[in-house]
Amino acid sequence: MSDDAVKIPGALSGVGGWLDDRFHGARGVRVLMKKVFPDHWSFMLGEIALWSFVILLLTGTFLALFFVPSTTDIVYHGSYTKLNGIHMSEAYASTLRISFDIRGGLLIRQIHHWAANLFMVAICAHMLRVFFTGAYRKPREVNWLIGIVLFTLGMLEGLFGYSLPDDQLSGAGLRIFEGVLQGIPIVGTYLAYFLFGGAFPGSAIVPRMYIIHVLLIPGLILALISAHLFIMFHQKHTQMPLHGNTEKNVVGQPFWPYFMLKGQAWFFFIFGALVVLSTFAQINPVWLYGPYTPLAISSASQPDWYMGLLEGALRIMPAWEINFLGHTLSLSVLIPFAVPLGLIFTGAALWPFFEAWATGDKAEHHVNDRPRNAPVRTGIGVAAISFYGVLWAEGANDVFADKLQIPLYTITWIARFAVFLVPIGAYFVTKRICLGLQRKDAELLTHGVEIGVIRQLPHGEFIEEARRLTDEEHAVVASKRIPAALPGPGKLDPNGIPEPAGRGPVGWARGVANRAFTESIVPDGHGNGHGEHNGHAVADGEHAAITGGDSGDHHG
């Protein structure tokens, strides 16, 4: 974009000039306004989380004006007459008041809750996009780690948020949370007593969760989101492997006016979608659950979706425990709490470094991968999704049993096997699909696109007509970069000595991983194809000049 493209309205430039005389910020603002952002629908998923968070802050502030974070026992007399005369905490009573007596209160409460769900949905979708396109690679590893921390904080924030109303469902969730804390070896009992200020449920937990929910965690999330955005801004956003996009440039639209207006529109779309959803779809009807009492529990007590993984892990776990020297190690709680989430979060955090180690790839990457062109990564990603999905579904096993008429224990046993087998199967199936798609790409590169015309040559041979890929198509299809092969496991150099990189068990492991990462379908070269017959506009020379590099020789 030339400078002429950035037009600043007069009113704005007047104010800007005044400010610049005092703060000398024009140069920085100019850089900001000219900053180019690439455009792709999947680049807007993280922004859903950002704007959901803004909406959460706005609606949360409204709710905080009326919510009473106290477990003081009162007798309810309010608009929801069905519960008149029941003892309940002030927290629950004020939630009923927000829902039935405060003008617009129920709508705001529902927007807040739907926005929380959408916040976590968007983080999840955004992380999956970043993972599957390899956007976490150097130099963006730190932002990937920040994202994982944000996801964890979001889970905790949600847990404390939906526990605040002190209804029957949230109390059941808190009881499990207390049990999980107690399951931590050695310090568990102390931790639970510290957090709850004594035995469950006590009266300290609601005000404590409140301050954590409205101040501590939102502050951390806000700080980390700022860091996340600044780092993204500084490192520039990745771009898709399209025609003209290289590792050295950023192709897109400048911040002002395009991206800024688009971001504004996006905020309003998200807010609008949440308001429509909250108007028409009831969420967390605490008045149906009733006030919390430790004596009661409802069937189909599930946490919000982002905690479903933990719930499912708890539900498939056999009741194992070890008693040792007067101490009880509750494996039936500790393993479901620590292992699945630990696998996913630790695995996700280490993955960028593992991939760089296994591929020996130390280069910077600003152009994303197509998922098919990184079969190991894509396979691992789908395996992780299926692992998560099995546990997630198991968290709702009683709802599935009831609605789908499948015996409860049957579902549990299926999940116990599926949680191990499905991810393994998913990895190999996904990898084969990726390689199959690569084979298709190789055919497109060498053979071209079939256009549905069959021609008979004078000597009787039938050939199918194909056209060359357009430059745009070619840039996408030919974007594959195969990692360099490292020495195979146990491979010897000409002197009969193992390669330095391949020595020892670590070197062997690296060789094995590297072999998986470098498995790829390469165009075979001989299929120069019938493309030249159909007179496509792009000349070969031009074509080769644009694609260059590794695949140009297949088109000469």
Partner 1 sequence: MGYRVSSIIARRRHPAAGYAAIAGGLVLAGALYGALAGGPASAAPGQSSASPANGRSLFIQSCATCHGINAQGTSQAPSLIGAGAAAVDFQMSTGRMPAKEPGAENTRKPVTFSPQQIADIAAWIQSLGGGPTIPDATQVSTSGADTALGEELFSTNCAQCHNAGGSGGALTYGKSAPSLVASTPTQIYEAMVTGPEAMPVFGDGTITPDEKRAIIAYITQTRTEANPGGFSLGRTGTVTEGIVAWLAGLGFLVLIAMWLTAKRKDMRIGGEGS
Q: Of residues 16-45, which lie at the interface with partner 1 (CB under 8 A)?
A: 39-45
Contact between 2 and partner 1 (CB under 8 A)? no
C-beta of 300 vs 451, nearer to partner 1: 300
Range in contact with partner 1 (rule: CB under 8 A) among 21-29, 403-411, 443-451, 478-486: 403-411
Contact between 300 and partner 1 (CB under 8 A)? yes
3-state DSSP call for residue 73? strand
Contact between 408 and partner 1 (CB under 8 A)? yes
Q: What angle do CA 376, 513, 374 make, to 5 degrees?
A: 25
The two tokens of residue 160 are 């404390």
What is the rounded distance in angstroms from the CA atom of residue 467 to the CA atom of residue 489?
43
C-beta of 127 vs 192, nearer to partner 1: 127
- Cβ neighbours for 149, distance < 8 A, ≥ 6 positions apart: 224
**Window 234 to 263, contacts with partner 1 (CB under 8 A):** 262
Shortest spacing between CB 21 and partner 1, in angstroms: 37
Q: What angle do CA 88, 93, 98 make, to 5 degrees?
A: 165
**Window 66 to 105, contacts with partner 1 (CB under 8 A):** 76, 81-86, 99-100
Contact between 298 and partner 1 (CB under 8 A)? yes
- Cβ neighbours for 494, distance < 8 A, ≥ 6 positions apart: none
The per-residue DSSP string of 173-203 comes to HHHHHHHHHHHSTTTHHHHHHHHHTSSSSTT
Shortest spacing between CB 446 and partner 1, in angstroms: 21
What is the separation, in whole angstroms, between the first and last Cα of the chain?
34
Decide if 162 contacts 304 (C-beta within 8 A). Answer: yes
Decide if 153 contacts 221 (C-beta within 8 A). Answer: yes
**Window 451 to 480, contacts with partner 1 (CB under 8 A):** 470-472
Contact between 270 and partner 1 (CB under 8 A)? yes
Contact between 524 and partner 1 (CB under 8 A)? no
Taking CB under 8 A as the criterion, the residue among 9, 10, 318, 407 binding partner 1 is 407
The two tokens of residue 139 are 């130099």
What is the rounded distance in angstroms from the CA atom of residue 496 to the CA atom of residue 19?
72
Decide if 331 contacts 322 (C-beta within 8 A). Answer: yes
3-state DSSP call for residue 385? helix
Taking CB under 8 A as the criterion, the residue among 102, 401, 435, 437 binding partner 1 is 401
3-state DSSP call for residue 137? coil
3-state DSSP call for residue 282? coil
Range in contact with partner 1 (rule: CB under 8 A) among 185-193, 373-381, 404-412, 520-528: 404-412
Contact between 323 and partner 1 (CB under 8 A)? no
Nearest to 96 by CA among 286, 281, 282: 286
C-beta of 233 vs 271, nearer to partner 1: 271
Q: In this structure, which amino acid lies at residue 337?
A: F
Contact between 309 and partner 1 (CB under 8 A)? no
Taking CB under 8 A as the criterion, the residue among 70, 203, 235, 302 binding partner 1 is 302
Contact between 396 and partner 1 (CB under 8 A)? yes
Contact between 545 and partner 1 (CB under 8 A)? no
**Window 166 to 225, contacts with partner 1 (CB under 8 A):** 168-169
Contact between 385 and partner 1 (CB under 8 A)? no
Contact between 163 and partner 1 (CB under 8 A)? no
Q: Give, as one character, the DSSP assignment of residue 241.
A: S
Nearest to 542 by CA among 556, 527, 528: 556
CB neighbourhood size of 456 (10 A): 9
Shortest spacing between CB 255 and partner 1, in angstroms: 15
Taking CB under 8 A as the criterion, the residue among 216, 538, 544, 552 binding partner 1 is 538
Contact between 110 and partner 1 (CB under 8 A)? yes
Decide if 502 contacts 486 (C-beta within 8 A). Answer: yes
Contact between 295 and partner 1 (CB under 8 A)? yes
**Window 272 to 291, contacts with partner 1 (CB under 8 A):** 273-274, 277-285, 288-290
What is the rounded distance in angstroms from the CA atom of residue 523 to the CA atom of residue 553?
10
Shortest spacing between CB 536 and partner 1, in angstroms: 10
Taking CB under 8 A as the criterion, the residue among 26, 29, 33, 106 binding partner 1 is 106
Contact between 402 and partner 1 (CB under 8 A)? yes
Shortest spacing between CB 262 and partner 1, in angstroms: 6
Shortest spacing between CB 29 and partner 1, in angstroms: 25
Which residue's structure tokens are 């049993």? 401
Shortest spacing between CB 295 and partner 1, in angstroms: 5
Nearest to 380 by CA among 432, 438, 424: 424
CB neighbourhood size of 20 (10 A): 16
Taking CB under 8 A as the criterion, the residue among 296, 322, 421, 492 binding partner 1 is 296
Taking CB under 8 A as the criterion, the residue among 305, 345, 354, 508 binding partner 1 is 305
**Window 473 to 512, contacts with partner 1 (CB under 8 A):** none
C-beta of 171 vs 529, nearer to partner 1: 171
Shortest spacing between CB 11 and partner 1, in angstroms: 27
What is the rounded distance in angstroms from the CA atom of residue 293 to the CA atom of residue 46?
39
Backbone angles phi, psi at 289, to 5 degrees: -75, -25
Contact between 517 and partner 1 (CB under 8 A)? no
3-state DSSP call for residue 464? strand
C-beta of 83 vs 356, nearer to partner 1: 83
Residue 74 pairs with which residues in a beta bridge?
Answer: 88
Shortest spacing between CB 503 and partner 1, in angstroms: 47
Contact between 403 and partner 1 (CB under 8 A)? yes
Contact between 125 and partner 1 (CB under 8 A)? yes
Shortest spacing between CB 212 and partner 1, in angstroms: 21
Range in contact with partner 1 (rule: CB under 8 A) among 120-128, 146-154, 212-220, 429-437: 120-128
Which residue's structure tokens are 């180690």? 357
